[in-house]
A and B are shown apart, each in its own frame.
Chain A
Amino acid sequence: MEAEFARIEIIGNMSKVSEFIEQLGTEKHLREIHKLGISGITVYNALGCGVQSGSAEYMLEIKEQSLRLLPKSTMIMICESSKVDKVIEFLKKEFYTGHIGDGKIFVSDVRNVIRVRTGEDGADALKESKID
């Protein structure tokens, strides 16, 4: 059975994620993301590398390079499974520059969501609380 919710994680360049978060500061972008059913975002900074082992884009041909961990950010958001495709499409367009380091998007199932303060669960826990 398909889960009702999905977790979307995007791991990308720290500066690109910061730029995206900065854009969310504008009302238009915030409205756009709310329309996609995203009510919250969690970001944490990390070190990491992808398939290029942290090599710079222009140095890919140099073989004898050691692994380098680069500053990355992971952004997590939860949405209803039915809206996943639209959210991914939105994120792909926002993060695309064509350069190595644009990031990767991971999608996984979430069985339930519970708001601790009110005890609401499921879709209600992702919206503004009805109890307030």
Chain B
Amino acid sequence: MKKIGIFGAVSTGVGMLIATSCFVSSASGSSAVGTPFIIAIVIACIANMLAVLSIAELNAIMPNLTGGIAQYTLAGLGPLLTIVTMVGGYLISNVFAAPAEGAMFANVMTEMTGKAIPPEVFSIGITIILVFINLKGVNMSTVLQEIVATFMVLSLLILSVIGAFQLGTNESITQEAVISSELKDILPLTAVAFWFFIGAEFIVPLGKDMKNPKKVPLSMILSLGIMGLIQIIMVFGFHNYTPWSELGSAASPHLLYAVNMLGDFGRYWMIAVAIFAAVSTQNSIICSVSEICCGMAKMNLLPAFFRKKNKNGAPYWVIIILGVITCLIEASGISTGEQVAFLTLTCSLFWMLSYITSHINVIILRRKMKNVPRNFKTPLFPIIQIIGIALQLYMMFNISTDSNQKIKIYILCLVLFAGLFIYAFIWVKYKLKLPLMKGIGVHQVIRMESPEYHKVQDYLKNQNDNTKM
């Protein structure tokens, strides 16, 4: 198989970061304060760079694990918090992210085909197709992934540069560049900008396909940097071609921008980018969440049926459950920018929590396993982790500038976390019979990765039962 170099890893990485729902975040942030939104973008980019540094170190201690952050947390913080933060932080946030992408895809398709077909048909349709593809165990080859990602990255870069330098075929507009320069208005928008940068950790599994897997941390940092740069240039593009008020209320702000700048040519170009972005993001979510759930079931953190695979090697239970939940949320008719923003902000809150746990895991494992060789160590330990945690906490406390929306997000999170806490408590204490808060040894976690491990455990359990009888 052809191994990918740093260029391939970075372009695939940026491709993974690009989601159509990013355009809603970008539009909502820009329309709130104007070009000073770039300050929030830079801060969010730095916060996520710090998070991926910690994730890279954890991956160096426990390489090639399917459960990723869940397994790192099990080793660092123990089973109770792993279930609460990972099922909550990662799985639920992805469950919300998938329909957000579906909704954006549906908006684009409705725009293209007219209003004859309801948008839900498109969003549910694409989810069913992707579920079917994932059940068939079809994975995009790394080369195809690289080509699609490069197309998306270059297109977005070119579209933003055209806008920023007023090179569009249509007339540019004149409007205030700065709506507010007050830090109290700008800084809370870091939570909005956070959404551009989530998912950089999905680059970690690419390591096994890279010529030099040691360049995974660099690839993640570069991907985040390039994504940040594209978003910053695009803010200037928005300033030149889209009135702030229209931008904030548009359901598909990226289409508005492309049409205002390049007319119909821009519309079709952006439609192509948006379709690729939405489909590839929803596909990555289904693919990665099913693997993470499977990894968690291997560690007994989720019921055993989650690790069952069909003859194509796909963890079919997770894929079907995820597909059904995504379709249900899509069927509820989310389509407006505000609804998508609510979903993305709720996901962001959960995701921020999982990044905080990654920083804490590094701190714990540096003490617990200080002599374990690491191909990558975060520099300036523990300053990076402390700043990283502080930035994520800041964003969590400022998850929305709208106080009503903020309360709704907090209530939803509280309800979900309360439910998860009860499940995790019962599961760990009575089913697994493990200490709730004690980290499991790294090597034990690594051993649990093998499917043979579970067969042996079942065999030992049967033997014990027979002895007792």
Chain A residues in contact with chain B, CB under 8 A?
Answer: 56-62, 89, 92-93, 96-100
Contact = CB atoms under 8 A, between A and B. Distances in A.
B456 A58 contact: yes
Contacts of A59: 452, 456
Nearest to B375: A93
Given A58-B450, A62-B460, A96 B443 contact: no
B62 A98 contact: yes
Interface of B is mostly: helix
19 contacts: A56-B452, A57-B446, A57-B447, A58-B450, A58-B452, A58-B456, A61-B456, A61-B460, A62-B456, A62-B460, A89-B373, A93-B374, A93-B375, A96-B373, A96-B375, A97-B64, A98-B446, A99-B446, A100-B447
A100 B372 CA distance: 13
Contact of A97 (B63, B456, B457): B63
Interface string B401-445: 000000000000000000000000000000000000000001100
Contacts of A100: 443, 447
Nearest to B372: A96
Contacts of B372: 96, 98
Interface in B345-385: 372-375
Nearest to B62: A98
B7 interface: no
Nearest to B463: A62
Given A93-B374, A93-B375, A57 B450 contact: yes
**The 10 residue pairs across chains A and B that have the minimum distance between CB atoms:** A58-B453, A92-B373, A96-B373, A58-B452, A98-B446, A58-B450, A93-B373, A57-B447, A93-B375, A58-B456
A59 B62 CA distance: 20
A98 B442 contact: yes
A58 B453 CA distance: 4
A132 to B, nearest CB: 34
Contacts of A92: 373
Contact of A98 (B61, B455, B457, B460): B61
Nearest to B459: A62
A36 to B, nearest CB: 15
Contacts of B460: 61-62
A56 B450 CA distance: 11
Contacts of A61: 456-457, 460
Contacts of B447: 57-58, 60, 100
Contacts of A62: 456, 460
Interface string B63-104: 110000000000000000000000000000000000000000
Nearest to B450: A58
A117 B61 CA distance: 45
Nearest to A29: B212
Nearest to A88: B373
Contacts of A60: 447
A59 B460 CA distance: 10
B464 to A, nearest CB: 11
B306 to A, nearest CB: 19
B3 to A, nearest CB: 12
Given A62-B460, A89-B373, A93-B374, A98 B63 contact: yes
